[in-house]
């Protein structure tokens, strides 16, 4: 996919899917702002690799749960890259907790990062696009296979289901600004997130419900994200693309 000359901010890009999106976008020609929370060294290593490709890259610390950081994060990305016309909302958390034991703190933390963070980073991005007059802007956010329902995950399912509704609404509302809005619903992807919540034995059973009988890779998700951000997806708007190996969880 061709992202030559495009300017992309990726949230939660210090590892996993966010890192893969940042790297794939740079290979496609984009300059990239790598947002991170708590691992500056990892973020800088990613940025260094992007610079080695001949692209501009900057690392920006910011907690998407903090409403006060969103406008500054977007503005800093735009200043460093010489503009901003692409956004990947990737930052998220998945603390497992049974519903009967779920606390308001777990609910608020999960929704605050996954859904509220996505919404208000998107708002800051859209405001920047409006002010700059950037054309053919696009954003992609990360939902999840878990929207179909998952044990110990009511809070997470709610947050990721909200992203699908948010995507549809923003696609309509931001169309006058020439901003396309889509989201991806990954299945079980081989990153720290599933490995932090399942044993190797449990993961082995889980992937049996996918048609390839394996976990997906962050790069496979990133390839779809780059496609959605590119002009190749110019007629794709308000959609949820499922990248889950044909999973059929009962």
- Catalytic member of 36, 156, 159, 230: 156
Q: Catalytic site residue 160?
A: yes
Q: Catalytic site residue 143?
A: yes
Q: Please state the φ and ψ torsions of residue 107, each to the nearest 5 degrees.
A: -60, -50
Q: Please state the φ and ψ torsions of residue 208, each to the nearest 5 degrees.
A: -65, -20
- Catalytic member of 36, 94, 159, 160: 160
Q: Catalytic site residue 232?
A: no
- Catalytic member of 141, 143, 144, 159: 143
Catalytic residues: 143, 156, 160
């Amino acid at each position: 996919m061709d992202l030559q000359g495009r300017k992309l901010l990726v949230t939660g890009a210090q590892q996993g899917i966010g890192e893969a999106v940042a790297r794939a976008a740079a290979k496609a020609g984009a300059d990239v702002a790598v947002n991170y929370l708590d691992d500056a060294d990892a973020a800088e290593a990613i940025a260094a690799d992007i610079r080695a490709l001949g692209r501009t890259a900057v690392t920006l610390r910011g907690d998407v749960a903090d409403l006060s950081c969103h406008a500054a994060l977007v503005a800093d990305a735009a200043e460093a890259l010489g503009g901003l016309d692409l956004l990947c909302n990737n930052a998220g958390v998945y603390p497992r907790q049974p519903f009967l034991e779920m606390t308001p703190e777990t609910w608020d933390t999960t929704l605050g990062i996954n859904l509220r963070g996505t919404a208000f980073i998107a708002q800051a991005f859209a405001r920047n696009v409006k002010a700059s007059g950037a054309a053919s802007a696009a954003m992609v956010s990360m939902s999840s296979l878990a929207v179909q329902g998952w044990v110990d995950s009511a809070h997470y399912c709610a947050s990721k289901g909200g992203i699908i509704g948010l995507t549809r609404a923003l696609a309509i509302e931001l169309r006058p600004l020439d901003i396309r809005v889509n989201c991806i619903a990954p299945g079980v992807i081989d990153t720290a997130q599933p490995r932090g919540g399942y044993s190797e034995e449990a993961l082995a059973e889980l992937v049996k419900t996918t048609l390839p009988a394996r976990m997906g890779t962050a790069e496979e998700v990133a390839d779809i994200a780059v496609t959605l951000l590119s002009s190749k997806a110019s007629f794709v708007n308000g959609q949820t693309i499922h990248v889950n190996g044909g999973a059929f969880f009962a």
